[in-house]
Structure 1
């Protein structure tokens, strides 16, 4: 009997192992499918909205060099500052709406969105001071008088965009939490087509210059807001919208604290790499290094849009599953998105390295600038590799509600370690823009490493319980059965 039993046992063990791996693969594929349904449209939306400012710069640059510089400075410094802060404030809704939706408390999503509107519109009123005094602020940071004057005038004309941000970001988080990302994608695409045509018509054909740029850019952002609101008001968003309510003005302090934590966390990330160009401007003979860094940051910007799509997707997945009490699925979602994004990061890393001698000529005719860009592109390649994981981990943090913790991690990693390292390598060791970027990269590596440790060491059952408490605190009911 012995000889017959042994092969049978080996067959059973082999079959068990095979079934186990097949089950893991099936779970991975199912979660990957859920992830891409959110990430795909979210990436497309981010690219369309990023293209609004990029197209405005392109058309303006065909008219006048000073106007181009003014639009670029307003977009990157003034509007960039406001965009980062408002996006961060609005990201508090990723935690609250996502967990409430997962918990089945659909009615609270509209209330949360209205509370966020109150906070962000108030914030927009405060930030409008930056737009009004843009000229002296730009002079203070070292911009030329000519560019500062024109950019300051353009910033005043762009005040309507600031208030569009205040409404748009809460709306997007409201829709993302319900996985209604395709609606945002279609609206953004339609507005992008409108924007491209009217930018050509007003800026080039009619010769309105900066006035035409301001009209089209403001109008496009408000069309996005109006289109999304029209969808929400018409469909009632499956019960998530039940009309305006005075409840929007209750529990504001808790919202403000979470919103500020979200803003600090995301702004510290959003502004960090932007500092590279500011620091590079203080090198001796900075023109060529600044041009080279600007080209690499342009590539980085497009790559970040892809990362932001996955950031939104994992935030939705984690917050939904924690809100529903599904700790196991939340953990699975983190692993699946991490593997997916690292594969994409490796591909982007290889593409940048393989094309570093060629892509600079898409942006410049100067051999000196192209040569310097090729050198800096090595650091860019490692940056896009890290972009495969770092924004995803930040999305996990937002979905789970760890914004305050990550804000402290970002301060330590970026500004206590990374920034001094950039100054040391770039100036003290005379490594130029490559050294500055490498130093900043040290901060990103440290922050990513800490976030990996934080994410992998978390007790996800405990996180689900905390999500239950958060939903109860702001109007929900218990959804997690006692064990």
Structure 2
């Protein structure tokens, strides 16, 4: 499916667009998930769990694609980041092989028909939406030939009246054929699903569906704009603590960075990775029409994550002693341990929010998380200021603010689903003892997600550990640099998601040429974003560090390294969007292995060799990262340049036919 191409300024419109971007991104279940669902169905005797006729999914004549149209791979988990740490991590999550949806919901079907109608209209296969006078209609057709049909065939508009009509409502107009139907009706009266289906199928088969840069730019903007807002809000929960604590002192700034990284590796990434299994299980249950099982799967995950929180709590309580062995600065280890002990009180809420996000996402309610973050992100910043400075609690105020916010996140999600969503509660089956049964399939699906996500997190966060060996000043500077590059990454990463979704949809609809156009638009946008980030960081290198710290030495070190960080921003944006296109083509395994090679085989040896062997310090640590990102962008760009796009279309068509059979 696809979305409309005009972006409205209202929050409801943002919500709608966000839902549409990802509503086809869920994979169908793996055999493990099918086993879980079959067992639940066998045990389920509640007649209310059966879907009503009104809620049943429909088969679609549109050839939609999901997240993996080319090879059946899912990139689930590679973009759904938590609200505290890890939003928009760079590394591509390695693929899981899954099978694709073969049905659309009625809402998805409606959206797909809207996109079909828009493309048919822009290619002059059906009349415009609004009836036009004869002269204005002719002028619009002439103008449209420039924008909608590649090559700008002006003769098409002039010959419109003289060309023969196509046969019947199912016929397909050529570029020189008249617009059929009653000119007094919207779309000439040809906007009924049956006619659109027939015209779409035949137009695609005839190679008549084209797109333009203008259209694709609007679609990419509509997809990416709400995501950028969401990711920036997500990461702001981390930045708020660093901003606030950084002005207390150098030791505190290094400690909050080390603590955040430790919490991410030993806790948050585990919650994220385990919860990715719901992307399969909840989507499978919802897609099968057994809505009550969606709530059951969420309950299981919440209880499972709370159980996992016990060993996580032990590690966080003992974190000070563990960090003293790893980190050479005792004061930093002590404060980091204090941070983890306090933030532990928010871990159950954070775990529940991770499961709750999947619960609403399975129903297409992607706006829920956005609404919650719009409220909680500013409140988190206010809490940091209030506790750290107004109430003068100092360093400990930051983790208290995080713990409170983490517990408010699931509460906000519940309030949205209960009182503001029309359909969210239809998937809630009430608390049941069944949530303590049938954990096996869920755990089997969850463990690979943890392994993949931990590999991703460690690739960059290990630099923070390494920087601690150069002293508290360098550790504090590393904290600022890591935060800055993560903030700037929240722009190209959502752009890559938008590109992957659009390319996936077009490839699934067998429109290879349109997918190529969309890819060019996405890459152009990535270059623009990359240049903006380069300009911003390089031109403000002497001013930005003051936002994070008042220590002159830390400011000096950050200002010295920022030009290097700015230099690879273009590579960062291009690499992110290469990964997005690979995901859209269903070839994200290529990006995953390329990045693992570049990060662990190239970046880490160069970083440690130059930092410690050559004595380059923090400059050396970031040199390896810069080289790795350049290699990722180069290798993946060459791969995409040599990709046979038509082959991806054929793979999508073959799989769709297999699914239909």
Kindly indicate which of the two structures has a greater share of residues assigned to helix.
Answer: 1
Q: Equivalents in 2 of 1:374, 1:46: separation in Å?
A: 26
Q: Which residue of 1 aligns with 2:160?
A: none
2:564 is aligned with 1:379: yes
Residue aligned with 2:625, SS: helix
Using a 3 Å threshold, how does the CA distance of structure 1 residues 77 and 237 change in structure 2: closer, same or farther? farther
2:576 is aligned with 1:391: yes
Q: Which residue of 2 aligns with 1:12?
A: none
Deviation at 1:407, TM superposition (A): 4.9
Q: Equivalents in 2 of 1:307, 1:273: separation in Å?
A: 18
2:337 is aligned with 1:207: no
Using a 3 Å threshold, how does the CA distance of structure 1 residues 371 and 71 change in structure 2: closer, same or farther? closer
Using a 3 Å threshold, how does the CA distance of structure 1 residues 447 and 175 change in structure 2: closer, same or farther? farther
Question: Aligned match of 2:509 in 310, 326, 338?
Answer: 326
Using a 3 Å threshold, how does the CA distance of structure 1 residues 41 and 467 change in structure 2: closer, same or farther? farther
Deviation at 1:100, TM superposition (A): 9.1
Q: Which residue of 2 aligns with 1:436?
A: 621
Q: Equivalents in 2 of 1:78, 1:281: separation in Å?
A: 17
Check the 8 A contact 2:477/2:555 in 1, yes or no.
yes
The number of equivalent residue pairs is 454
For residues 367-386 of structure 1, what are the alpha-carbon distances to aligned partners after superposition, in whole Å with 9 as ceiling and x for unaligned? Answer: 66545434422321233222
Check the 8 A contact 2:250/2:473 in 1, yes or no.
no
Q: Equivalents in 1 of 2:558, 2:369: separation in Å?
A: 35
2:206 is aligned with 1:19: no
Q: Equivalents in 2 of 1:449, 1:430: separation in Å?
A: 28
Question: Aligned match of 1:280 in 467, 471, 484?
Answer: 467
Deviation at 1:93, TM superposition (A): 5.3
Q: Which residue of 1 aligns with 2:239?
A: 54
Q: Which residue of 1 aligns with 2:531?
A: 346
Using a 3 Å threshold, how does the CA distance of structure 1 residues 358 and 413 change in structure 2: closer, same or farther? same
* Range moving further from structure 2, 16-25 or 83-92: 16-25
Deviation at 1:248, TM superposition (A): 9.6
RMSD of Structure 2 on Structure 1 (CA): 4.4
Q: Equivalents in 1 of 2:300, 2:407: separation in Å?
A: 20
* Range moving further from structure 2, 373-382 or 24-33: 24-33
Residue aligned with 1:356, SS: coil
Deviation at 1:361, TM superposition (A): 4.5
* Range moving further from structure 2, 456-465 or 385-394: 456-465
Q: Equivalents in 1 of 2:300, 2:520: separation in Å?
A: 33
Q: Equivalents in 1 of 2:211, 2:472: separation in Å?
A: 53
2:645 is aligned with 1:460: no
Question: Aligned match of 2:600 in 400, 415, 421?
Answer: 415
Deviation at 1:109, TM superposition (A): 6.1
Q: Equivalents in 2 of 1:424, 1:243: separation in Å?
A: 54
Q: Which residue of 1 aligns with 2:416?
A: 231
Residue aligned with 1:343, SS: helix
Q: TM-score, normalised by structure 2?
A: 0.57
2:342 is aligned with 1:157: yes
Question: Aligned match of 2:455 in 245, 268, 290?
Answer: 268
Q: Equivalents in 2 of 1:27, 1:398: separation in Å?
A: 22
Matches within 5 A, 1:72-471: 72-79=257-264, 81-91=266-276, 107=291, 113=298, 117=302, 120-173=305-358, 175=360, 180-209=365-394, 212-234=397-419, 238=423, 241-244=426-429, 246=434, 252-253=440-441, 256=443, 259-283=446-470, 286=471, 289-310=474-495, 312-314=497-499, 325-326=508-509, 328=511, 331=515, 336-363=521-548, 369-394=554-579, 407-452=592-637, 456=643, 459-461=647-649, 464=652
Check the 8 A contact 2:368/2:417 in 1, yes or no.
no
Structure index of larger Rg = 2
Q: Equivalents in 1 of 2:528, 2:295: separation in Å?
A: 37
Deviation at 1:328, TM superposition (A): 3.8
Check the 8 A contact 1:98/1:319 in 2, yes or no.
no
Q: Equivalents in 2 of 1:201, 1:358: separation in Å?
A: 25
Check the 8 A contact 2:224/2:495 in 1, yes or no.
yes
Residue aligned with 2:573, SS: coil
Check the 8 A contact 2:578/2:637 in 1, yes or no.
yes
Deviation at 1:420, TM superposition (A): 0.8
Using a 3 Å threshold, how does the CA distance of structure 1 residues 201 and 365 change in structure 2: closer, same or farther? closer
Q: Equivalents in 2 of 1:300, 1:52: separation in Å?
A: 16
Deviation at 1:308, TM superposition (A): 4.2
Structure 2 unmatched ranges of 5 or more: 1-144, 153-207
Q: Equivalents in 1 of 2:296, 2:150: separation in Å?
A: 44
Check the 8 A contact 1:111/1:248 in 2, yes or no.
no
Deviation at 1:344, TM superposition (A): 0.9
Q: Equivalents in 2 of 1:56, 1:206: separation in Å?
A: 15
Structure 1 unmatched ranges of 5 or more: 1-14, 469-477
* Range moving further from structure 2, 86-95 or 105-114: 105-114
Q: Which residue of 2 aligns with 1:6?
A: none
Q: Equivalents in 1 of 2:356, 2:578: separation in Å?
A: 23
For residues 127-148 of structure 1, what are the alpha-carbon distances to aligned partners after superposition, in whole Å with 9 as ceiling and x for unaligned? Answer: 3332122112211211433332
Using a 3 Å threshold, how does the CA distance of structure 1 residues 321 and 208 change in structure 2: closer, same or farther? farther
Q: Equivalents in 1 of 2:268, 2:652: separation in Å?
A: 31
Check the 8 A contact 1:268/1:407 in 2, yes or no.
no
* Range moving further from structure 2, 128-137 or 206-215: 206-215
Check the 8 A contact 1:261/1:403 in 2, yes or no.
no
Using a 3 Å threshold, how does the CA distance of structure 1 residues 215 and 463 change in structure 2: closer, same or farther? farther
Check the 8 A contact 2:267/2:312 in 1, yes or no.
yes
Deviation at 1:316, TM superposition (A): 5.5
Q: Equivalents in 1 of 2:444, 2:589: separation in Å?
A: 9
